[in-house]
A and B are shown apart, each in its own frame.
Chain A
Amino acid sequence: MRFMFIVTSAQRQAPTPALLEAMGKLADREIKAGRMLDNAGLMPIETGAQVRIDDGRLSLVDGPFIEAKEMIGGYAIFDLPGKEEAIASAMEFMQLHKDLAPGWDGVCELRAIAGP
């Protein structure tokens, strides 16, 4: 079963080098364990844009989105036996943040990807 992990946070600071290194090692381990299919961190919000529909009107918001509170910082795609494994994996990932990026608050949302 494929899962997408999406990390969001209201804080805009870049991850600490220690956290980056630990996440790199975790990703390496997960790739070697055959479980991680893809992962990436996203560039700062200035590099993006939002194309929106509000009240039936199409509009473009070209970054930075002052009004945006939670922003997506990165994602990963895993192939895991089930939701329990996905939760255990996300717990481990977030524990790294707790240990290596004190003061950081954020969410790792995991969702099953539709399909077989």
Chain B
Amino acid sequence: MSRDAATHRAILAAWRIEHPRLITSLARILRDVPLAEELTQDALVAALERWPVTGVPERPGAWLMATARRRALDHLRRAAMLRRNHALVAHDLEAEQQAMPDLDSALDDDIGDEMLRLIFTACHPRLASDARAALALRMVCGLTTGEIARAFLVPEATIAQRIVRAKRTLTASGLSYETPRGEALAARLASVLSVVYLIFNEGYTAARGDDWLRPQLCHQALRLGRILTAVAPGEPEVHGLLALMELNASRAAARVDEDGEPILLMDQDRRLWDRLQIHRGLGALARARQLTADRGDPSGGPYALQAAIVAQHARAATGAETDWRAIAALYEVLARIAPSPVVQLNRSIAMGMAEGPEAGLALLQPLLAEPSLRAYHLLPSVHGDLLQRLGRHAEARAAFEAAAALALNRREREMLQRRARETPG
């Protein structure tokens, strides 16, 4: 790395450390989240211009904060002069007093409420889902447009356009500074959680050898999940989603072999699972359950239920010790509160393990006519597995062949073709 590149990365790192406080503080002064984001970026640009010449200041955070606040005040002054609006001038003066860089109290800002507002603004249901993910990564995690583009494998111009358009939509709809509370918060939370889970899964499905920023998406999603548990600690599904992500991420090192071949859950070397992460996941799940119990809700939400299912695997020291009955029971509840053909398919797998292939097949049978699963290779794959265990070899072979024809991934296709060949009869 050249010296310039090293300085550049050091500046970006200092900016990232300060970023949550910069953007929340500016949002409070300006009462406009997209504008706060823009001026926070301006502070980074200023640092990138100045610091290579002057050296990194002793308190980089304070420098960035003073610069960003100055820009915010300039903006307010200009706006006030343009409109000659007395009320705004008064607000401007008040903001100026608030914004005086007071180094000693730099840590005194409680960013919790502003952070919550930031996340809810970035994940507004009015925005397209890919725009929400990009905006959350940029506004909350402090990723640059280039980094987001590399992580999602799309051109930088595409992400830049998505962000500009999303910010314009927010401003035009008067959504640039709103705080959902009470029922509105609960309703909007679903959108926030789905954005975070989308970011997580985008990183989780990244292949070995992909740009390192892709797996980073998992970390950013975990970070968003932790931020949410800190700023909305009373919401059970916030803890449920964090639990689900921590528990899934705990298997990262065991999911692929040295050639990048995926290893199925039951075949993974459990010694490679991350114990600390499992511990954190189980802790988050326990909090979700406690909050749910406090509300008198017997089942809990879909994220907590999925986390509880993954937790059953995390708790089993070996695949053979898996409590399939508990998993089947959890899927039954999940199928009731968040019904979907994929949940039903997973339930039939668990049932097949808990009660035997006959019981699994009974649940799977109605799915064979399900239009949304017609092209889903796992349906005939699971079907073939249950048939094989029942000794119905000819039907099993046909199912594996059908599954192989639908598999999009070469490795999975080869595995299914092998199973078809190895089925006796």
Interface positions of A (Cβ within 8 A of B)? 1, 22, 25-26, 29, 31-35, 37, 79, 81-82, 84-85, 87-89, 91-92, 95, 115-116
CB neighbours (8 Å) of B136 from chain A are none
Contact A116 B230 (CB under 8 A): no
Measured CA separation A88–B16 after assembly (Å):
9
Structural contact, A88 and B107, CB atoms closer than 8 A: no
Give the CA-CA distance A37 to B283 in the complex, in Å: 13
Q: A29-B111, A33-B227, A116-B274 known; A88 and B222 CB under 8 Å? A: no
CA distance A85 to B231 in the complex (A): 23
Q: Is the CB of B58 within 8 A of A115?
A: no
Contact residues in A for B58 (Cβ distance below 8 Å): 95
Interface pair A95/B223, CB less than 8 Å apart: no
Q: Chain B nearest CB: distance from A27 CB in Å?
A: 10
Is B227's CB under 8 angstroms from A26's CB? no
B222 touches A34 (CB 8 A): yes
Q: Within 8 Å CB of B61, what residues of A? A: 92
Q: When each residue 2-36 of chain B gets 1 if its CB lies under 8 Å from chain A and 0 otherwise, what string results? A: 00000001101110110011000000000000000
In the complex formed, the residue of B with least CB distance to A37 is B280
B86 in the interface (beta carbon within 8 A): no
* Interface residue SS majority, chain B: helix
The reply to whether A88 and B17 contact each other, CB–CB distance below 8 Å, is yes
> Could you write out 20 A-B pairs with CB less than 8 Å apart?
A1-B219, A22-B107, A32-B20, A32-B111, A32-B230, A33-B223, A34-B222, A34-B224, A34-B226, A35-B223, A37-B280, A79-B222, A81-B219, A82-B9, A84-B10, A85-B13, A85-B17, A91-B60, A115-B253, A116-B252
B195 to chain A, nearest CB (A): 15
Point out the residue from B9, B21, B227, B253 that lies within 8 Å of A84, measured CB to CB. Answer: B9
Q: Is the CB of A88 within 8 A of B14?
A: yes
Q: Which 4 A-B pairs have the closest CB atoms?
A: A84-B13, A34-B223, A34-B226, A25-B107
Q: Are B274 and A115 in contact (CB under 8 A)?
A: yes
Looking at chain A's contact residues, the main secondary structure is helix
Question: Which residues of chain B have C-beta atoms less than 8 A from A22's C-beta?
Answer: 107
The CA-CA distance from A26 to B20 in the complex, in Å, is 12
Residues of chain B contacted by A32 (CB below 8 angstroms): 20, 111-112, 115, 227, 230-231
Check B223–A87 contact: CB distance below 8 A: no
Interface residues on B, range: 20 to 34
**Further pairs besides A34-B224, A88-B17: 10, Cβ < 8 Å:** A29-B111, A33-B223, A79-B223, A81-B216, A81-B219, A84-B12, A84-B13, A87-B10, A88-B60, A116-B252
- Assembly CA distance A26 to B108 (angstroms): 9
Q: Bound complex: CA of A107 vs CA of B225, how far in Å?
A: 32
The interface centre, meaning the residue of A26, A79, A82, A88 with most chain B CB atoms within 10 A of its CB, is A88
Check: B59 CB closer than 8 A to any chain A CB.
yes
Chain B 85-113 interface mask (CB, 8 Å, partner A; 1/0): 00000000000000000000001100110
Please state if A82 and B13 are interface contacts (CB–CB under 8 Å).
yes
Give the CA-CA distance A25 to B36 in the complex, in Å: 23
Please, how many angstroms separate the alpha-carbon atoms of A33 and B107 in the complex?
13
Distance between Cα atoms of A26 and B216 in the complex (Å): 24
Q: How far is the CB of B32 from chain A (nearest CB, A)?
A: 22
Q: What is the CB-to-nearest-CB distance from A31 to chain B, in angstroms, rounded to a whole number?
A: 6
Distance A115 CA – B224 CA, assembled complex (angstroms): 21
Pick the contact of A88 from B10, B108, B112, B231 — CB < 8 Å? B10
Contact in complex: A85, B108 (CB < 8 Å): no
Which A residues lie within 8 Å of B59 (CB)? Answer: 95
The distance in angstroms between the C-alpha atoms of A79 and B225, with both chains bound, is 13
| Complex-state Cα separation, A79 to B224, whole angstroms | 12
Contact B227 A116 (CB under 8 A): no
The A-contacting residues of B in range 242-294, CB under 8 angstroms, are 252-253, 274, 280
Residues of chain A within 8 A of B216, CB atoms compared:
81
Which of A1, A84, A95 has the largest number of chain B CB atoms within 10 A?
A: A84
Within the complex, the shortest CB–CB distance from B423 to chain A, in Å, comes to 36
Q: Give, as a whole number of angstroms, the nearest-CB distance from A100 to chain B.
A: 10
B134 CB → nearest A CB, Å: 17
Indicate whether A33 sits within 8 Å of B20 (C-beta atoms), given known contacts A25-B108, A79-B219, A95-B58. yes
CA distance A115 to B274 in the complex (A): 8
Least Cβ distance of A112 to chain B in Å? 13
In the bound assembly, the distance between CA atoms of A29 and B112 in angstroms comes to: 9
A115 CA to B60 CA in the complex, in Å? 30
| Nearest chain B CB to A8 CB, angstrom units | 22
CB distance from B408 to the nearest CB of A (A): 25
Q: Which B residues touch A29, using CB under 8 A?
A: 20-21, 107, 111
Which of A34, A115, A116 is B225 in contact with, Cβ under 8 Å? A34
Contacts of B215 in A (CB 8 A): 116
Measured in the bound complex, the distance between the Cα atoms of B404 and A3 in whole Å is 43
Within the complex, the shortest CB–CB distance from A102 to chain B, in Å, comes to 15
A59 to B181 alpha-carbon distance, docked (Å): 60
Q: Which residue of chain B has its CB nearest to the CB of A32?
A: B230
